[in-house]
Structure 1
């Protein structure tokens, strides 16, 4: 399964990814989104969060 990551420099902390796919994303102490350790989010859920992100800061790792 591919792994997602959040570009912390681009994230604006809107929390849309957390609202859409809480099993894969969380907010960190700086108010930025990050992928949860041992993420259990389904690819479809993660992709929906990516598609919804207003600054397109969530990406699939190669």
Structure 2
């Protein structure tokens, strides 16, 4: 299964991914963008977040 991953070391905290895919991305208690633990991730939505990420910090990884 493909899983979206956020590299918080390069994330600029624009929250664009949260705006595009609030069902997948959220800001955790530490204030960092995180991916929700889901059984599957809608590729179209994640690809849209990847497309609009200004720091290119969102990628797909095989689990």
TM > 0.5 fold call? yes
Equivalent in the alignment of 2:33: 33
Equivalent in the alignment of 1:17: 17
Question: Residues 10-55 of structure 1: CA distance to partner in whole angstroms, max 9, x if unpaired?
Answer: 1111100000001110012333211012265411000100110000
Over alpha carbons, which structure has the higher Rg?
Answer: 2
Which structure shows the bigger proportion of residues in strand conformation? 2
User: Of the two structures, which has the highest relative contact order with CA contacts closer than 8 Å and spacing of 6 or more?
Assistant: 2
- Which consecutive residues of structure 1, in runs of 5 or more, have no partner in the other structure? none
Equivalent in the alignment of 1:56: 56
Equivalent in the alignment of 1:5: 5
- Which consecutive residues of structure 2, in runs of 5 or more, have no partner in the other structure? none
TM score, norm. by length of structure 2? 0.84
- CA RMSD between the two structures: 1.6
TM score, norm. by length of structure 1? 0.85
